């Protein structure tokens, strides 16, 4: 299981310079990847394109960019440009986001999200592979070709939680990128359905990138209490709520990885056993020194 770090949602400083410094530090330590959330701060694709020019080896991926606000041709062009800047190390993670964001904040329709993603991928996948996209659908009617010099194929990961989305991800992408999804749910729901869809489509075994809060601490109860207060919103969003219910978790704190080295060791082993290919570790600083302490622990597991 590859180990990477989450950045961008609550990153210290929140600037391009801070992100570059973080990426260089992670690369020097040997971490395999850096994943950047795309919420209402820095644009993740643009920021990672810049980071790609300042780093050499670390994989750089979005976790995730919402699809509804961006036309698939536009996001394909932007992603291919980022791939050229990153010299082949960029991964595009995309997702539907949530009705709360798409309709209530952005004023767009969230109607038929699975159909939207199916048509979106029909346009996006060929363009990211350097091919033409010809799609006549209900939401997109596209006949487009892109020519971005220096860009290799861009891998795509879809934030897939429900059955329809897992089927789409398995059949048309390189895998899934998860958030707020525990190991039991990955084992019984995510992995088998994603893998079955990929097999049916004749695709290679998909990646499963699991994003989870993690902290090395001698006070796990205190850590979970703080996580519960700051991440409570995730327990209310329908898609995450469904995954927490499958896990038998009351809220985000119940699936956070918090404890001493033995607890974290067991959690990482469990993720590896259920088919997680990549850990997207979101270090939660519950006290002074928690970030560096947890980072050092993860570094020791590379």
pLDDT in tens, 234-273: 999 999 999 999 999 999 999 999 999 999 999 999 999 9
Identify the pLDDT of residue 179. Answer: 96
Which helix (H) or strand (E) is 16 found in, with range?
helix 16-29
CA distances to 2, 52, 65, 253, 273 from 45, rounded to whole Å, are: 22, 10, 8, 29, 31
Rounded average pLDDT over 110-126: 97
In the chain, the percentage of residues whose pLDDT exceeds 70 is: 98
12: pLDDT strictly greater than 80:
no
9: pLDDT strictly greater than 90:
no
Residue 115 — pLDDT band, cuts 50, 70, 90?
A: very high
Which residue blocks in 30-161 are alpha helix, DSSP H? 44-54, 72-86, 99, 113-128
40: pLDDT strictly greater than 90:
no
Summary mean pLDDT of the chain: 96
Class of domain 2-218+258-300: alpha beta
Rounded average pLDDT over 180-194: 98
Identify the pLDDT of residue 39. Answer: 86
CA distances to 59, 73, 106, 160, 232 from 295, rounded to whole Å, are: 17, 37, 36, 28, 24
208: pLDDT strictly greater than 90:
yes
Give this prediction's pTM: 0.97
Rounded average pLDDT over 197-213: 98
34: pLDDT strictly greater than 80:
yes
Identify the pLDDT of residue 267. Answer: 98
């Amino acid at each position: 299981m590859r180990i990477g770090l989450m950045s961008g949602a609550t990153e210290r400083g929140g600037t391009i310079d801070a992100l570059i410094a973080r990426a260089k530090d992670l690369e020097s330590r040997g971490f395999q990847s850096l994943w950047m959330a795309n919420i209402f701060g820095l644009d993740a694709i643009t920021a990672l394109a810049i980071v790609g020019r300042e780093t050499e080896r670390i994989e750089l991926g979005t976790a995730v960019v919402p699809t509804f606000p961006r036309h698939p041709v536009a996001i394909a062009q932007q992603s291919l440009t980022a791939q050229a800047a990153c010299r082949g190390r960029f991964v595009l993670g995309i997702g539907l986001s949530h009705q709360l964001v798409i309709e209530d904040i952005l004023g767009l329709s969230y109607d038929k999200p699975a159909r939207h993603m199916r048509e979106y991928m029909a346009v996006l996948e060929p363009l990211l592979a350097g091919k033409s996209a010809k799609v006549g659908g209900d939401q997109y009617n596209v006949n487009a070709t892109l020519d971005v010099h220096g860009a290799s194929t861009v891998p795509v990961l879809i934030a897939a939680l429900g059955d329809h989305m897992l089927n789409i991800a398995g059949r048309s992408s390189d895998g899934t990128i998860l958030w707020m999804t525990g190991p039991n749910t990955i084992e019984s729901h995510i992995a088998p359905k994603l893998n079955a869809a990929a097999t049916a489509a004749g695709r290679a075994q998909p990646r499963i990138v699991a994003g989870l809060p993690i902290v090395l601490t001698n006070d796990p109860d205190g850590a979970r209490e703080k996580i519960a207060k700051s991440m409570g919103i995730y327990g209310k969003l329908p898609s995450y709520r469904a995954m927490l219910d499958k896990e038998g978790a009351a809220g985000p704190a119940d699936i956070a990885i918090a404890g001493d080295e033995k607890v974290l060791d067991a959690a990482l082993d469990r993720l590896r056993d259920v088919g997680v290919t990549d850990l997207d570790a979101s270090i939660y600083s519950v006290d002074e020194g928690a970030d560096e302490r947890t980072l050092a622990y993860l570094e020791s597991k590379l």
